[in-house]
Amino acid sequence: MTDIARPDSDFVVNFQIDQRPVRGRAVRMGAASLSPILQRHDYPRHLARILGEAVTLAAMVGASLKFEGRILVQAEGDGPVSMLVGEYRTDGGVRGYAKFDADRWAHLEKVNKGAAPHMPQLFGPTGRLALILIQDDPSIAPYQGIVPLEKGTLSECAEEYFAQSEQVPSRIKLAVAELDRKGEKPIWVSGGMMVQRIAGDENRGDTTEVWREAEALFGTLSDAELVDPDLAVPDLLFRLFHEQGVRMEDRVGLLDSCTCNEERLVDTLKGMPDNALREMVEPDGTLAIDCQFCARHYSIPIEQVTDPVS
C-alpha cells in the first residue's frame, strides 16, 4: 500500500484536550502533499528536511485561520540559505521552495561532517523567521510577525514566535523523514504537532499547573511517532492524553498545489518597465520564466507584455 492510499496521511486537524485549557493541532504529510514538493526540487537532504518542516509548520499554524487566504512561513538571512518558504492555503493547498548557495552549502556540510545544521548556521547572524498572513480580500493588508532565527531548530524558533508575537505559550514538534519501503518508491513524509495554553479566566481559574502537565506529556512525543504512517493520529493523541481525553475536529486534506498561472504572470510582467523586460528577452523573442515553487516553465512572447516599439 502506498502512502497516498493511507487514511492517516496528508491532512491537518485541530484538537482539544477535554476539560483542560489546552488546544492543539496535528498534521501528517506524505505522497499527496510534501513528497512531490521535495522530490521536484532535489535539494540536499538536510535542506529538504528543513523545507519540509517549514511546509508542515505552515499547514499546522494555518489550520487555525478564520479567514480565506494563506499563511507563509518564511525564513531568510545571509547564510548558505538566503530564503526558505513554506505556504499553506485555506483550500488545503501547500507549496514550498528554498534558495541556497551550493558552494557555501557544501562548505557547511564539510564543517558539520554530515550532521544536521542549526538555524544560525543556515541563515547567518541576520536570520529571521516571519509568519505572514495574507487574506484573499485585497483590501485587507497582510499581517507579518518576525522573530530572530537564534534557536537551534525551526520548532524552537516557532515556539519563540508564539511567545513573543502572539504571547501564547506553545510547544511545537516537527519531524521529516524519507521512507524507503520494499517494493515501493521512496517518499518524503512529515508529522507535526503543537499544543497551546488557553489563558485562565473566572471559569477556568489559574491554568499554570494544567499547562505544565500537558507540556510534560507532550515532551514524551518522539520524531519516530510523528512520521510513522502506521501510527494513526487518533492513536497517537490517545497515547499522549488518554487520561484527559481528546476531541478532534474535522480534518482538512492537504495537497501539493501551486497557484501560478500564465494570466497572473502576464499581468505582473505588464507592470514592469518595458526596457527591463527587453533586456531579459530570449533569442526567440520570448521571456523564459520558471515558477520557483512548482518549477513550471513559461514562455511569454515579449509583444504580449510590452508596448510596440515606435
- Residue 218 and residue 255 in contact, taking contact as beta carbons nearer than 8 Å: no
* Averaged pLDDT, 224-253: 91
* Averaged pLDDT, 121-132: 96
Pick 252 or 243 by higher pLDDT.
252
H-run or E-run covering 229 = none
The answer, yes or no, to whether residue 281 has pLDDT greater than 50, is yes
- Residue 109 and residue 119 in contact, taking contact as beta carbons nearer than 8 Å: no
Please give the pLDDT value at position 4: 38
Top-confidence range, 110-124, 248-262, 274-288, 292-306: 110-124
Q: Which of 162-166, 200-204, 232-236 has the lowest mean pLDDT?
A: 200-204
- Residue 131 and residue 73 in contact, taking contact as beta carbons nearer than 8 Å: yes
Please give the pLDDT value at position 202: 55
Domain 3-256 identical in fold to domain 262-304: no
The answer, yes or no, to whether residue 20 has pLDDT greater than 90, is no
Please give the pLDDT value at position 289: 85
* Averaged pLDDT, 12-20: 90
Please give the pLDDT value at position 1: 29
Q: What b/e sequence results for 131-156 when a residue is b if at least 16 CB atoms lie within 10 Å of its CB, and e otherwise?
A: bbbbbeeeeeeeeeeebbbebebbbe
C-alpha cell of 293? 515553487
The mean predicted confidence, pLDDT, of the chain is 90
% residues pLDDT > 90 (the chain): 63
The answer, yes or no, to whether residue 253 has pLDDT greater than 50, is yes
The answer, yes or no, to whether residue 3 has pLDDT greater than 70, is no
Going from N- to C-terminal start, the domains of the chain cover 3-256, 262-304
Q: How would residue 6 be classed by pLDDT, with cut points 50, 70 and 90?
A: low
Please give the pLDDT value at position 45: 95
What's the CATH number for 262-304? 3.90.1280.10
- 124: Cβ contacts below 8 Å, ≥ 6 apart: 77, 78, 79
* Averaged pLDDT, 171-199: 91
Q: How far apart are CA 59 and CA 47, in angstroms?
A: 19
Please give the pLDDT value at position 5: 39
* Averaged pLDDT, 278-303: 85
Q: What would the 3-class secondary structure string for 50-98 be?
A: HHHHHHHHHHHHHCCCCCCEEEEEEEECCCCEEEEEEEEECCCEEEEEE
Please give the pLDDT value at position 176: 97
Q: Which of 111-125, 194-208, 245-259 has the lowest mean pLDDT?
A: 194-208
What's the CATH number for 3-256? 3.55.30.10
The answer, yes or no, to whether residue 204 has pLDDT greater than 70, is no
